[in-house]
Structure 1
Amino acid sequence: MIRKRSLMHRTAVVAAAGAAALVLAACGGSGDDDGSAGHGGHAAPASSSAPSSASPSASASASASASASQGQHNAADVAFAKGMIPHHRQAVEMADLAPGRARSAEVKQLAADIKKAQDPEIRTLSGWLTSWGEDVPAEGAMDHSTHGMDGMDGMDGMMTAEEMTGLENASGKAFDTAFTELMIKHHEGAVEMARTEQADGTYGPAKKMAAEIIDSQSAEIEQMNALLGKD
């Protein structure tokens, strides 16, 4: 009986020791797991949250800066748009006369190129003025409509009503010569207006258009001077 009790006591002690060992092992394992999970759980969000909180702010700031730069304009930009719209419209009106009056195929092609280039620019310039809360020059605002605007007087090359009437009444070689001479003067005025915009304007797209006008119309002036030299 004593032996049986002794055996049962030893068995209980062993069982208790084993249970204690299992508890310690479980606690140790749980601590390791919690440490890993805790490190990963805290470190990962920390590393990902820092960029995510800074990144939207940085990108928003960069976007706002870009928008401010893109949208900035001044009085020179407005004057450029308001002056160039009627200027381009008159060039297109002159170009529209060429198909039925010009004799030279080169003059006809030049007129077509001028209309193709300047029609879209009129729409772009009008869009800028609308977005700035400015009035778009009314159709037919040509001749002297831009004279006296922000120093443009005498340098815009716009045709007078008499010159336009003379061009409308010409045909054949007389039209070719008149069209070429008047368009050279017209282009020279546009180039000067574009140079003023480049010097005084602040709106990036307008300054870019001004550079394109200088390049394209200077090339056409050379082409027209060559045409006059052939006659």
Structure 2
Amino acid sequence: MTAQRRFVRRTVLAVTASVAALMLAACGNDGDSKASGGTATASSTATGGHNAADVSFSKEMIQHHRQAVEMAGLAAGHASSAQVKTLATKIEGAQAPEIKTMSGWLTSWGEQVPQDMSGMDSGMNHDMSSSATPGMMSDADMGKLEKASGAAFDTMFLSMMVEHHEGAISMAKTEKADGSYAPATELAADVITAQSAEITQMDKMLGKS
């Protein structure tokens, strides 16, 4: 009788231990699941924080910058002024990396990066939403710039780039006012500072001040 009771007691203890182990495992899995969920939420928050204004700014400024880079690229073979060539190199060096940065934002947000139409032989290459985006040159304007050379190119390039920069500054001010994605509003502030200084420089080169 005593042996039987010991057997029953050992069996009960073993069952109890097994149940306790299963419960601990279940709790552990639940904790892992919650932890994973928390990590995913934090990650989503880290990559979010943007709004429609940030998306519009990035898409339009990419196209705007592409045209500026295209204009700047003409200077090496068409300009006669060393100052114009140096300025063009500076503009290209500043805006090309910003195009990559904004393209990366759009990709991370699940948005489509605008198609790059620059460098195409058709008349579509220059007229990139020029009617909707401030400061964008028309296809006709770009055609004139491509055909110009020497001092005529210098004057035309500077005049067009001043207008182009003014458009970019207008877009950047809108982003600073309406955007919510900190890196985008910071880039907008940089655009305002850098391009305002370049407008002053170009005005002097044009003899306006």
TM-score normalised per structure 1:
0.67
The amino acid that maps onto 1:205 is: P
RMSD of aligned alpha carbons = 2.3
Output aligned runs, 1:75-94, within 5 Å: 75-94=52-71
Aligned identity (percent) is: 56
Aligned partner of 2:79 among 102, 108, 118: 102
**Structure 2 residue 173 is the aligned partner of structure 1 residue 190:** no
Q: Does structure 2 conserve the Cα–Cα contact (< 8 Å) formed by 1:70 and 1:204? A: no
Contiguous gaps of at least 5 residues in structure 1 = 1-56
Quote how far apart the aligned CAs of 1:71 are: 2.4
SS of corresponding position for 1:229:
coil
- What residue in structure 2 maps to residue 140 of structure 1? 117
Task: Go from structure 1 to structure 2 and tell me whether the alpha carbon gap of 1:173 and 1:117 turns closer, same or farther (over 3 Å shift).
Answer: same
Q: Does structure 1 conserve the Cα–Cα contact (< 8 Å) formed by 2:130 and 2:137? A: no
Task: Go from structure 1 to structure 2 and tell me whether the alpha carbon gap of 1:146 and 1:74 turns closer, same or farther (over 3 Å shift).
Answer: farther
Q: Does structure 1 conserve the Cα–Cα contact (< 8 Å) formed by 2:47 and 2:108? A: no
Q: Using the alignment, how far apart are the partners of 1:179 and 1:213 within structure 2?
A: 19
Q: Does structure 1 conserve the Cα–Cα contact (< 8 Å) formed by 2:130 and 2:138? A: no
Quote how far apart the aligned CAs of 1:143 are: 4.3
Structure number with higher helix proportion: 1
Q: Using the alignment, how far apart are the partners of 2:162 and 2:93 within structure 1?
A: 17
| Number of positions where the alignment pairs a residue of Structure 1 with one of Structure 2 | 166
Q: Does structure 1 conserve the Cα–Cα contact (< 8 Å) formed by 2:78 and 2:149? A: yes
Quote how far apart the aligned CAs of 1:156 are: 1.4
Contiguous gaps of at least 5 residues in structure 2 = 1-34, 119-124
Deviations 1:115-162 (A, max 9, x none): 0000000000100000000010001176443357xxxx3x61000001
